[in-house]
Chain A
Amino acid sequence: MDRQITSFIRALRSSDVRVSTGEALDAVRAVAMVGYADRALLKDTLGCVLAKSPDEKVTFDELFDVYFSRKDTTTESAGASEQSQEESSGATAKNTPQNLVELMESGDETAIATAIEKAASAAEVDDIRFSTQVAYYAQQMVKQMGGESLQARLLDALSQHTDEGEAEAERLIEMRRDLTMRARERTQRAFDVFGKGETRQFREDYAASKRLSALDRSDMERMKVLVAKIAKRLAVKHSRRRKKKSRGQLDVRRTMRANAGMDGVPFNVIWRQKKRERPKIVVVCDVSGSVAQYVRFLLLLLWSMKDVVPDLHAFAFSGRLYDVDEYLEDKPFEEAMAEIMRVAGLGSTSYGQAWSDLKVDHEQLIDRRTTLMVMGDGRSNYGDPRTDLFRDFASRAKRTIWLNPEGPGLWGTGDSEILRYRPYCNQMSHVATLKDLERAVDDVLSAYN
């Protein structure tokens, strides 16, 4: 019986629910306490031992239903097969390949289900990883069940060239079709339980390292989920401690106060604590055509982390610079993005204009705890890049980070002014994929530790 639990846990793990060995042991012990008989009770029990967050609960519920609906037939048939094995060795012959035709003819559903399960475990169907393998594993199963002997009988019947032969062949073809269908069903279920998670993981890894500009519409939904995951990961990492103990510096006032009750004898010493600064980010985005797609993801990621970075200000420009916080706060993200593109996306790109707008209207936002993030390719249509203003901002800010969707090979070519801004940035990095973005934002937040 423990085998069922361990195999269910394997299925959970492949769907992103992390189950430790300790929890697996707990699950076995818990099930020993409540038993298998009551399905709802089993679900409650395993749920509270194995799924430890709302996300995991959802996955658990889905998987439990799929997995144990399958086990409905197998527990029955597994029991039956064990019994038959115990009874006599002759009984097992019932399931040998030679008798496949008789087995199918008998219409004994339990026996067929047993045979299917046996073939499935012999063909190691539960190792399935990708949906493209379904056909292969189904074929392997049929082979295990003695599909070849069926094939032989079929050929035999056809070569007789008689009416009876034809009828026999037709019957056998029908039988083969039925068998294949059952095998496919079994394989598909195995994929649903064990393979889906793996496929998703693979897809996500692939999507995270794909060039953002190369994404098409169909990828957008998946990418959003991915961005949310990244945001959560970063939020957990950076929302941790706010205070840092700095040992070695005595807080005299608080120590005296705390020990007043002990006649001023300093039993408890209190050390000064350094408060961690809250991150403050000002992000300036070039939303001209070539960069817009990257900006979309940067803003999506940053806005998903609003809890960790409450002090977040976004500006978009191509010609003039616009404050876009309002749109992002009031509207669903897609609508906000469309609005931003409509307002800010139409001018001809001028970095000089953007800097002077920032200087005039929002200079006070940039102070010594601000990280100034710029997302853009630095292509300014041969206008004045106003590096003097940019230098000013950079010297006021805590750090200045430039994210460039263009590869370093293109920097400084044509109308790119990027190399003239570079000396004033703490860091200038090439950002092409979601992974790059994650690294960049992680880096910005780490500077506040």
Chain B
Amino acid sequence: MMSNDLITGYEPMTSIEAITAGLESVGYISTRPISTSVFLAHGLRKPILIEGPAGVGKTDLAASLSRWLDVPLLRLQCYEGLDEGKALYEWKYGKQLLYTQILKEKLNDVIGDAQTLEASLSELGTFEDLFFSEQFLEARPLLTAMRQSAGSVLLVDEIDKSDEEFEAFLLEVLSDYQVTVPEIGTIRANVPPIVILTSNNVRELGDALKRRCLHLHIGFPDHKREQRIVQARVEGISETLLDQMVGFVQSIRELDIKKRPSIAETVDWAKTLLLLHANTLDETFVRDTLNVLLKHESDIAAVTTDIPKLVRQAVSGQSASGRPSSY
């Protein structure tokens, strides 16, 4: 069975190259490992577990995939105490209650002509499913994802923040892509969603979950890729400035600081510099806008002393574009 309908839905995902190109068409600059894991996730029907520092595009991968494939993105943000009710489905208690109140009057009409208690009970029995039907079902992201006829991208964000019980529950849902609501029946995904889990390593994830997923580590990008990302995100930035500022960020990442700037920060910084009409990198600009890039007072202090040197390096292009990336 598995081999026959192994590849269903998501027609554009024909090859690794197609994925890279497709992602680029919606502004996500992919790498080979990233595209490979997406390709495999689709082919093997496995969730991808993405780890890596904050702001390198883990969540964005899911969003871009959904944009490219033109399927809905369903996002489940995890937190401590997240339970089935919030993730899968819930009955709309309030609505059920309200309806019972309103329908109280009608109840007499239904069981009015029944003589005995048993008779009225069996009368009522015929309406049993009235209050436990689709109408009163509040679908949460997991159930919604299963119900998408053309497939979907399911993003389970920061899975490491959820409890262990939830992890075990998720495992069950993701292993056969089906959900059972006792009152309604089993809902099976027509086209299984592409599942992306992200983790920032707040806690060590359970072995079982890791074993069930493909593992992808996204690190900081190298000079060339970062340049392309910024170019895709920030319109109208000049080549010179782009090269220089990315070089500067790359060299900052190699310093011993608390929080290394990620791609999100580089993009913000590029926008800032553009707003200031900077054409080339110079010391004053950098000094004034460093707080966009670095989020710790001590980091800013540490880098400030080195600014002249770093700027000179970046401007003269010594930042070694060919340097291997830090992952």
Contact = CB atoms under 8 A, between A and B. Distances in A.
Q: Decide whether A and B are members of one complex.
A: yes
B93 A267 contact: yes
Contact of A48 (B204, B211, B216): B216
Interface in B208-242: 210-217
Given A44-B36, A47-B33, 10 more contacts: A33-B40, A41-B16, A48-B33, A48-B214, A48-B216, A51-B215, A54-B217, A261-B93, A262-B93, A267-B93
B211 A33 contact: no
Nearest to B32: A44
Interface string A296-318: 00000000000000000000000
26 contacts: A20-B211, A22-B212, A23-B211, A26-B44, A26-B46, A33-B39, A34-B16, A34-B36, A34-B39, A41-B16, A41-B36, A44-B33, A45-B40, A48-B36, A48-B37, A48-B214, A49-B214, A49-B215, A53-B210, A53-B215, A57-B217, A240-B164, A241-B164, A261-B94, A262-B93, A267-B93
A291 to B, nearest CB: 33
Contact of B203 (A34, A51, A52, A239): A239
B308 interface: no
A135 interface: no
Contacts of A57: 217
A86 interface: no
A26 B32 CA distance: 19
The 10 closest A-B CB pairs, nearest first, are: A52-B210, A44-B36, A52-B215, A48-B37, A44-B33, A48-B214, A33-B43, A20-B211, A236-B204, A267-B93
A275 to B, nearest CB: 12
Interface string A236-268: 100111000000000000000000011101010
Contacts of A236: 204
A40 interface: yes
Contacts of A263: 97
Contacts of B299: none
Nearest to B42: A33
A40 B215 contact: no
Interface string B27-51: 0000011001101100110101100
Interface in A1-44: 18, 20, 22-23, 26, 29-30, 33-34, 40-41, 44
Contacts of B213: 52
B44 A30 contact: yes
Nearest to A47: B33
A33 B323 CA distance: 32
A49 B40 CA distance: 9
Contacts of B24: none
Contacts of B204: 236, 239
B163 interface: yes
Contacts of A262: 93-94, 97
A404 B214 CA distance: 47
Interface in A73-104: none
B210 A45 contact: no
Interface in A130-145: none
A51 B216 CA distance: 9
Given A48-B40, A239-B203, A22 B16 contact: no
B112 to A, nearest CB: 26
Contacts of A261: 93-94
B32 A241 contact: no
Contacts of A240: 164
Nearest to A30: B40
Contact of A45 (B36, B46, B203): B36
A265 B44 contact: no
Contacts of B46: 26
A49 B163 CA distance: 25
Q: Which of A40, A47, A261 has the most C-beta atoms of chain B within 10 angstroms of its own C-beta?
A: A47
B69 to A, nearest CB: 19
Contacts of A54: 217
Contacts of B48: 48
Nearest to A57: B217
Contacts of B16: 34, 41
Contacts of B37: 44, 48
Contacts of A41: 16, 32, 36
Contacts of A47: 33, 215
Contacts of B49: 52
Contacts of B212: 22
B142 to A, nearest CB: 20
A420 B36 CA distance: 67
A262 B99 CA distance: 12
A57 B48 CA distance: 16
Interface string B41-66: 00110101100000000000000000
A52 B211 contact: yes
Nearest to A21: B211
A33 B94 CA distance: 50
Contacts of B207: 18
A261 to B, nearest CB: 6
A22 B210 contact: no
Contacts of B203: 239
A29 B44 contact: yes
Contacts of A265: 97
A40 B36 CA distance: 11
A152 B46 CA distance: 60
A421 to B, nearest CB: 38
A372 to B, nearest CB: 28
A22 B33 contact: no
A47 B40 CA distance: 12
A241 B167 CA distance: 13
Q: Which of A23, A30, A240, A261 has the most C-beta atoms of chain B within 10 angstroms of its own C-beta?
A: A30
Contact of A40 (B32, B39, B40): B32
Nearest to B210: A52
Nearest to A51: B215
A53 B201 CA distance: 11
B205 to A, nearest CB: 9
A52 B33 CA distance: 14
Contacts of B216: 48
A23 B210 CA distance: 10
A228 to B, nearest CB: 14
Contacts of A23: 211
A26 B40 CA distance: 10
A23 B40 CA distance: 13
Nearest to A235: B204
A112 B144 CA distance: 61
Nearest to B48: A48
A29 B39 CA distance: 12
Interface string A217-234: 000000000000000000
